Chain A
Amino acid sequence: MALSKKDIDYIAHLARLDISSDEAPLYTEKLTRILEFIDELGKVDTNDLLPMAQSLDISQRLRADEANVSEDRDLYQKNADVISQGLYLVPRVIE
């Protein structure tokens, strides 16, 4: 199916991406091409099939509830641009 500019804006918003009006036509064209390609799957009869989320025949493993000290906040926060007193800072969200 062909995507419209409105579709692209909506998907970009859901993905938290800014797509400029200059870029939009190229994204529209390429995503439409990709969707046409994956639309091929509509031809497959999948009525009796269970969805396959992953390839291993295992269920979620549980671990023992043991306390361990592995976090090193200062080390991890070295990779953050803006921190203060051990906190990550973001633009104000509450007026």
Chain B
Amino acid sequence: MTPLRLTIAEMSNLLAAGEISSTELVKDCLSRISEKDDSLNSFITVLNESALIAAKSADKLRKLDKAGPLTGIPMAHKDIFCAKGTITSCASKMLANFESPYDATVVERLSNAGMISVGKTNMDEFAMGSSSETSFYGPVTNPWNKSLSPGGSSGGSAAAVAAGLVPMATGTDTGGSIRQPAALCGITGFKPSYGRISRYGIVAFASSLDQAGVLALSAEDVALVMQEIAGFDPRDSTSADKPVPNYRASLDQSVKGRRIGVPKEYFNEGLDSDYADVIRTSLDVFSQMGAEICEVSLPNLSFAVPTYYVVCPAEASSNLSRYDGVRFGYRAENPIDLEDLYKRTRSEGFGDEVKRRIMTGTYVLSAGYYDAYYLKAQKVRQLIAEDLRRCFEQVDVLIGPTTPTTAFAIGEKIDDPVKMYLNDIYTVSANLAGLPAISIPCGIVNGLPTGLHLIGPQFEEARVLNFAHCFQTETNWHKFLPGSERN
């Protein structure tokens, strides 16, 4: 079997040198999934047959000298991405039998680049959660400690990459759903600017905040995948029609003389003190590389999560009104009339957290409350985005922790929605303002990984990846994984 932790870049080199075949790589992934995933529960669907067929085709392409850098490399998609002919459940009973009739743009582009999907990963139902516990298919566990949550909502993708089941998985990030699980599982997780990657074929949650991204073992791997999936798509009305730079080419640029902003509010109460020490040590790494560390201020940071929890449920309640039991998805049996069909379909098909968010969203949009909640939150959103814009007039990137604590126990926060929501304190602002942000491993606290969070100005994905890559050339935290020889 191949070594447990090959990165995409390493796999690509081995394939190009003829030292390994795609069939071997895919077989290894599939056997690791069958060996380890009973306890992790990171996959909802495993595509044994189609993955092996695709691997054979990839090996043929390579023999014909028609292989690209990603041809024949295995990966997984979060089960929120439509992939033709497979179930796309969004971890909900509502879509448990939904066979997608088409491919999401991300799925199509990675397939065109030759990557091989070995399956669909588990997640919070409809991506609503920060712990991957609200899945209809049961909770995902954290490969560092099976009694802990891997975070969420892309918890299956994060756990699968951290456990070495796949070198990369896609995710979506509406308030932190790529970066928070990446931090809690000790891997690299990147959310680009809103509009950079097409949302076509991604089950909609909160349309002004949702953005696809990548969970992988390094910023370099993220750059390789981003090159394929970023860029304009006419099928997404909010896709940005902007040129895509060469992300790999700018990774090695020096950070010497560049300015890093550290918002002073990040270190207020709520942040674990050992976690804070790890973040300060990480900032020293950048200082030693010649970057300048500056204190900045995000005075409205404490309002970011409340703003998010108005805007996001409002959009979700509207998006999820499509689940009516008529055209696709779950349908209640023997309805007595149309209203009974709607109500029972939705009550039986959605889980508790989804219903709670639909109810919250419905309330904040309802007559008499729209101005006080929804319009108000949209205005505070403007304020938060302005604070960030002002920071980027002074600094190149903002750096802080990804989460207030390391991984928490499964069951610990599930009964207190607000406690769960506060997991997103450092990540939601990037979604509200549409900015690119990454979480990279930066140290261990009490045997568990921590995440360093870097935010860049809008459409400066290359800069964020450059800073992250420089950190990963100076440190080895991204190689420190559960079950690895260094652990």
Contact residues in A for B376 (Cβ distance below 8 Å):
41-42, 44, 46
Binds A, one of B15-23, B130-138, B360-368, B392-400: B360-368
Q: How many A-B residue pairs have CB under 8 A?
A: 167
Question: Is the pair B331, A82 in contact by a Cβ cutoff of 8 Å?
Answer: yes
Question: Does A21 make an interface contact (CB < 8 A)?
Answer: no
Question: Does A56 make an interface contact (CB < 8 A)?
Answer: yes
- 16 further A-B pairs in the complex, CB-CB below 8 A; given A27-B359, A53-B208, A93-B338: A7-B363, A11-B362, A15-B317, A17-B343, A19-B347, A27-B355, A31-B360, A33-B416, A41-B310, A41-B377, A44-B379, A44-B380, A46-B376, A51-B378, A79-B97, A79-B101
Question: Is the pair B310, A38 in contact by a Cβ cutoff of 8 Å?
Answer: yes
What is the interface residue range for chain B against chain A?
A: 35 or more
A18 vs B372: C-alpha distance when bound (angstroms): 26
Task: Give which listed residue, B306, B344, B360, contacts A41 with CB less than 8 A.
Answer: B306
Contact residues in B for A88 (Cβ distance below 8 Å):
326-327
Question: Does A6 make an interface contact (CB < 8 A)?
Answer: no
When A55-B194, A82-B331, A88-B326 are in contact, do A44 and B383 touch as well, CB less than 8 Å?
yes
Task: Give which listed residue, B340, B347, B377, contacts A17 with CB less than 8 A.
Answer: B347
Lowest 8 A-B CB distances belong to which pairs?
A55-B434, A51-B378, A79-B328, A46-B379, A52-B382, A54-B208, A18-B347, A49-B379
Question: Does B234 make an interface contact (CB < 8 A)?
Answer: yes
Question: Does A69 make an interface contact (CB < 8 A)?
Answer: no
Count of residues in A whose CB is under 8 Å from the partner chain = 49
Q: A: which residues have CB within 8 A of B?
A: 7-8, 11-12, 14-19, 27, 30-31, 33-35, 37-38, 40-44, 46, 49-56, 58, 60-61, 63, 72, 75-76, 78-82, 88, 90-93
Question: Is the pair B337, A91 in contact by a Cβ cutoff of 8 Å?
Answer: yes
- Helix, strand, loop or mixed for chain A's interface? loop
A11 vs B358: C-alpha distance when bound (angstroms): 9
Question: Is the pair A79, B329 in contact by a Cβ cutoff of 8 Å?
Answer: yes
For residue A7, which residue of chain B has the nearest CB?
B363
For residue B236, which residue of chain A has the nearest CB?
A61
Question: Is the pair A91, B335 in contact by a Cβ cutoff of 8 Å?
Answer: yes
When A58-B238, A91-B337 are in contact, do A34 and B327 touch as well, CB less than 8 Å?
no
A61 vs B359: C-alpha distance when bound (angstroms): 32
Closest CB in chain A relative to B195 CB, distance in Å: 5
Most buried by A among B194, B328, B337: B328
Contact residues in B for A41 (Cβ distance below 8 Å):
303, 306-307, 310, 373, 376-377, 380
Contact residues in A for B326 (Cβ distance below 8 Å):
80, 88, 90
Question: Is the pair B300, A44 in contact by a Cβ cutoff of 8 Å?
Answer: yes
Contact residues in B for A72 (Cβ distance below 8 Å):
101
Q: List 29 A-B contacts (CB under 8 A).
A: A11-B363, A11-B366, A14-B362, A15-B355, A17-B343, A35-B360, A37-B418, A38-B364, A41-B303, A41-B307, A41-B377, A41-B380, A43-B303, A46-B376, A46-B379, A50-B382, A52-B379, A52-B381, A52-B385, A55-B195, A55-B432, A76-B101, A78-B101, A79-B98, A81-B325, A90-B326, A91-B337, A93-B337, A93-B338
